[in-house]
Structure 1
């Protein structure tokens, strides 16, 4: 509903969805809301999947009579606030393979996909006579745009007259670049604003930014249930100790052992994790009394992680307010909107900015969010 309202307020019917992944949002905007959508994705594999899903939906619409098919209800029929369902529009998004160049002028914002595809270079969706390919303004959105992609979107909005408004939901804050950057590197993703950059102690460590990405509500539920998922924290802490004992220079490495680490025994977990640190599991004692003593400290590890979770919303708020202040410093109308239930997605704060006032676009959004139609 937010993008539809922005479309109505700004008069823009063309949306550029950056970091579109498999195209789920693009598909909804195009088929569900009837908007003209350009979907930009750097991963050619995901872009290919998005086009395949589009074709499958088009075939399904043809079977059921094309335009006017209303699909499945999205609300309980007994709900007194239920609105009529919109007919689906048989118009697929236009998929553009490419990466956003945070340093390029707005007319040259796309880089080739990674890896490069066999086709011709992608046409810049903001490269027309007045900015967009069609000559009019566009809306730009990035749903869970990872790391520096969200700051790049905001920078392009700020310097591109082709973009009437932007709606950004950030993600993966630990991947955001921070000041100071080495010479020749792009501007950092944090801080963006002069206001935050001037604050003493505004720097954020990797650990702080990583903690801000966690799902606080889900973690609270695990604590209340005494979930076995909490075991993974102690496993990782014990593994860190083993890695540092074997090789003191290898600290805080990214060790991925899969999403079901809590279902493993510690030796199984360690045998999966140690190779990621360049260590041979056969040369590391995994059944020693020292390991057992560490695993008995799970309650302390969970308490430590819980303290980090309590501070995580503060860090996320600082990052998002920095982005909002960056836009306000340049005279744009902007707001942070808690658009949907954080239990559905913990990154539920949408940064909305436009060149015109947002009052009409944001009015009543809280009720729409409660209805689950945002």
Structure 2
């Protein structure tokens, strides 16, 4: 689907946001020969992506009779905390066009207002995020709206409990909710309980017995306590 969307929009570059260990990035690179920039907050994930890409490259090279230049995902390690950060990372990665993958460490404190302006050195691209946790989906939406180089957006939101909210978060960046004028004007508030419930599958809970449901509640309670402890530390 990502390949079909990219080609329909004339884009040959895909930015995989929240790429994890690079499964989507590698499929798009090796199977569909798209230029892929894989952005993730974990340097370990970048290392795994690069190592696996080398193995896949050797596998494809062994199958080819003629020597062929394979596209390999480029990895960028960055904790995307705002749409400005994401825009800046995308801009830098697209302008620094290496043939082979390069693991890059960005300070991620930069902003890039010029990304919304015409820049012919930056290729047309697609933003993709198949596991865009919390505010990551929102930041992708903002970059899609503000950046003319981004021709399409493929985003699967998740981890809604991590979505920041205007009335509950003390942050210097724009909150993840609300973002529409309609929601802002209506003073719509979700709250943590509703955001936590959005992560739960009604079908899964419905299929559980009472005993199993209580056990699940215990597991969620311990996990929540552990997460709060990590945040405090």
Q: Secondary structure at the residue paired with 1:104?
A: helix
Residue 208 of structure 1 corresponds to: 194
Q: Residue 77 of structure 2: which of 76, 97, 104 is its match? A: 97
Query: Compared with structure 1, are the counterparts of its residues 219 and 57 closer, same or farther at alpha carbon in structure 2 (3 Å cutoff)?
Result: farther
* 1:136 corresponds to 2:119: no
Shift of 1:105: 7.1
Residue 14 of structure 2 corresponds to: 15
Residue 59 of structure 1 corresponds to: 58
**Distance between the aligned counterparts of 1:255 and 1:24, measured in 2?**
31
Shift of 1:136: 2.2
* 1:5 corresponds to 2:11: no
Query: Compared with structure 1, are the counterparts of its residues 227 and 64 closer, same or farther at alpha carbon in structure 2 (3 Å cutoff)?
Result: farther
In 1, are the aligned partners of 2:19 and 2:39 still within 8 Å (CA)? yes
Residue 180 of structure 2 corresponds to: 193
Aligned ranges 1:328-367 → 2 under 5 Å: none
Query: Compared with structure 1, are the counterparts of its residues 130 and 5 closer, same or farther at alpha carbon in structure 2 (3 Å cutoff)?
Result: same
Q: Secondary structure at the residue paired with 2:132?
A: strand
Query: Compared with structure 1, are the counterparts of its residues 26 and 119 closer, same or farther at alpha carbon in structure 2 (3 Å cutoff)?
Result: closer
Aligned ranges 1:259-274 → 2 under 5 Å: none
Q: Secondary structure at the residue paired with 1:21?
A: coil
Shift of 1:212: 0.8
In 2, are the aligned partners of 1:181 and 1:187 still within 8 Å (CA)? no
- Extract unaligned runs of 5+ from structure 1: 68-88, 111-117, 241-251, 258-274, 277-374
In 2, are the aligned partners of 1:145 and 1:171 still within 8 Å (CA)? yes
**Distance between the aligned counterparts of 1:29 and 1:208, measured in 2?**
36
Shift of 1:120: 6.0
Residue 372 of structure 1 corresponds to: none
Aligned ranges 1:1-374 → 2 under 5 Å: 1=1, 3-65=2-64, 90-102=70-82, 104=84, 108-109=88-89, 121=106, 130-131=118-119, 134-180=121-167, 185-200=172-187, 202-220=188-206, 222-223=207-208, 226=209, 229-233=212-216, 235=218, 254-256=224-226
Shift of 1:52: 1.0
- Normalized against structure 1, the TM-score is what? 0.49
Per-residue CA distance 1:288-334 (angstroms, 9 max, x = gap):
xxxxxxxxxxxxxxxxxxxxxxxxxxxxxxxxxxxxxxxxxxxxxxx
**Distance between the aligned counterparts of 1:172 and 1:164, measured in 2?**
26
**Distance between the aligned counterparts of 1:205 and 1:217, measured in 2?**
23
Look at both structures and tell me which one has the larger radius of gyration over its CA atoms.
1
- Extract unaligned runs of 5+ from structure 2: 91-102
Q: Secondary structure at the residue paired with 1:209?
A: helix
In 2, are the aligned partners of 1:131 and 1:161 still within 8 Å (CA)? no
In 1, are the aligned partners of 2:83 and 2:140 still within 8 Å (CA)? no
**Distance between the aligned counterparts of 1:63 and 1:198, measured in 2?**
60
In 2, are the aligned partners of 1:130 and 1:137 still within 8 Å (CA)? no
